[in-house]
Amino acid sequence: MLNLKNKDLSKKQSSLAAWRTRTAWFFLAPSLIILLLVAAYPLFRTFQLSFFDVSILKFPLQATWVGFDNYVALFSDPRWWRSVWNTVVFTFYSVGIETVLGLTIALIVHSEFRGRGLVRTAMLVPWAIPGVVSSQMWRWMLNDVYGVINDLFMRLRIIRTPMAWLAEPALVLPALIMIDVWKTTPFMALILLAGLQGIPKELYEAARVDGASPVQQFWRITLPLLRPSLLVALIFRTLDALRVFDMIYIVAGTQIETISMSIYARQQLISFGSLGYGSAVAAGIFLILAMYISVYLVTLKVEVK
């Protein structure tokens, strides 16, 4: 009798689980269909065009099958590898500095002090400014003739003569990293602040009772419990940095010292009109991002375990 009841209960549970699964797919179907239309098909079309020689500068448009020739040309193109190197260097330094500064700001605004709400609001101002506006603003500020940065540094006697921040090869990439840090550090701080607010205060009270110093509390409590939020912040910011286009394009243009992968793809697709080779460049960017996401997912699975 007991076995029959257990079987009936298991059947009801399985049918309920099946019903929940069907309901979930029913509600997800519209979003999946839209995702296929706006993401999957363009991605498929990009990979398809990467195997052809197509130019929008030639009429009528004719697609000539070239196989892997576009990829061979891409991997032997020093300008492509320079764009990859520039993007990796930009991503490494900008995301690293933003993480450290974002965590510092999050810890400060998480503490109790007068005017905390005002400080939290003010720190979001750089992130709230549209990217095109802030990029053009920094381009004017860093101008070597009338820029306020040179004027300020000369008044403070940090430099003696105006510096060509956006023309000197040794200065332009660090200047772009500085702009990106100013722009997106608030985003990192906001995500990490949300993670800090989810840590129970009782843990810190118990640690203080046990005699733990603030440094010990940070390494033993704050950082381990903040790791999921930190990983989420890193994945979003790293993906954004690897796909950077507008800020570098507006501030520095297409110069070889700062050209990013996205700018290189745009140059091939739009400026040179090479749909085939440009699609191969876009496919290369996608593969690099896919490898990074795979590493992130593996890391996240390890962290969850």
- The single residue listed with the structure tokens 């940095």 is 241
- Over the chain, what HEC string results? CHHHHHHHHHHHHHHHHHHHHHHHHHHHHHHHHHHHHHHHHHHHHHHHHCCEECECCCCCCCCEECCCHHHHHHHCCHHHHHHHHHHHHHHHHHHHHHHHHHHHHHHHHHCCCCCHHHHHHHCCHHHHCCHHHHHHHHHHHCCCCCCHHHHHHHHCCCCCCCCCCCCCHHHHHHHHHHHHHHHHHHHHHHHHHHHHHCCCHHHHHHHHHCCCCHHHHHHHHHHHHHHHHHHHHHHHHHHHHHCCCHHHHHHHCCCCCCCCHHHHHHHHHHHCCEHHHHHHHHHHHHHHHHHHHHHHHHHHHHHHC
| pTM for this model (two decimals) | 0.84
Residues 21 and 104 in one domain: no
Query: 227 falls in which pLDDT band (50, 70, 90)?
Result: confident
Give the pLDDT confidence score for residue 300 in this predicted structure: 66
First to last CA, the chain: 40
Percent share of the chain, pLDDT over 70: 93
Query: 168 falls in which pLDDT band (50, 70, 90)?
Result: confident
Could you tell me the residue range of the domain that residue 224 belongs to? 77-304
CA-wise closest residue to 123 among 109, 103, 110: 109
Residues 214, 286 contacting (CB under 8 angstroms): no
Give the pLDDT confidence score for residue 280 in this predicted structure: 92
Residues 37 and 147 in one domain: no
Residues 120 and 238 in one domain: yes
**234 lies in some domain:** yes
> Which of 93-107, 172-186, 284-298 is the least confident region?
284-298
Residues 157, 273 contacting (CB under 8 angstroms): no
**58 lies in some domain:** no
State the virtual CA torsion across 48, 54, 57, 59 in degrees, nearest 10: -110
Query: 303 falls in which pLDDT band (50, 70, 90)?
Result: low
Looking at the predicted structure, is the pLDDT value of residue 57 above 50?
yes
- Over 17-52, what HEC string results? HHHHHHHHHHHHHHHHHHHHHHHHHHHHHHHHHCCE
Q: Is the dihedral of CA 231, 236, 242, 244 positive or negative?
A: negative
Looking at every residue in the chain, the average pLDDT score rounds to: 85
Q: In angstroms, rounded to a whole number, what is the distance separating the alpha carbons of residues 126 and 133?
A: 11
Residues 229 and 162 in one domain: yes
Residues 114 and 6 in one domain: no
Region 131-145: mean pLDDT is: 90
Region 75-84: mean pLDDT is: 93
**204 lies in some domain:** yes
**63 lies in some domain:** no
Residues 98 and 146 in one domain: yes
Region 74-97: mean pLDDT is: 94
Query: 271 falls in which pLDDT band (50, 70, 90)?
Result: confident
Q: Is the dihedral of CA 258, 183, 94, 295 positive or negative?
A: negative
**66 lies in some domain:** no
**60 lies in some domain:** no
Q: Which residue has the higher pLDDT, 62 or 74?
A: 74
Query: Tokens representing 85?
Result: 């190197």
Residues 110 and 20 in one domain: no
Looking at the predicted structure, is the pLDDT value of residue 8 above 60?
no
Give the pLDDT confidence score for residue 16 in this predicted structure: 72
CA-wise closest residue to 119 among 133, 103, 106, 100: 106
Give the pLDDT confidence score for residue 32 in this predicted structure: 82
Give the pLDDT confidence score for residue 115 in this predicted structure: 74
Residues 151 and 298 in one domain: yes
Number of domains, the chain: 2
Residues 43 and 91 in one domain: no
Looking at the predicted structure, is the pLDDT value of residue 305 above 60?
no
- CATH code: domain of residue 208: 1.10.3720.10
Q: What CA–CA distances, in Å, run from 201 to 93, 106, 207?
A: 33, 16, 10
Residues 39 and 162 in one domain: no
Neighbours of 93 (CB within 10 A): 18
Q: In angstroms, rounded to a whole number, what is the distance separating the alpha carbons of residues 81 and 78?
A: 5
Residues 40 and 176 in one domain: no
Give strand pairing partners of 64: 53
Residues 169 and 265 in one domain: yes
**57 lies in some domain:** no
**55 lies in some domain:** no
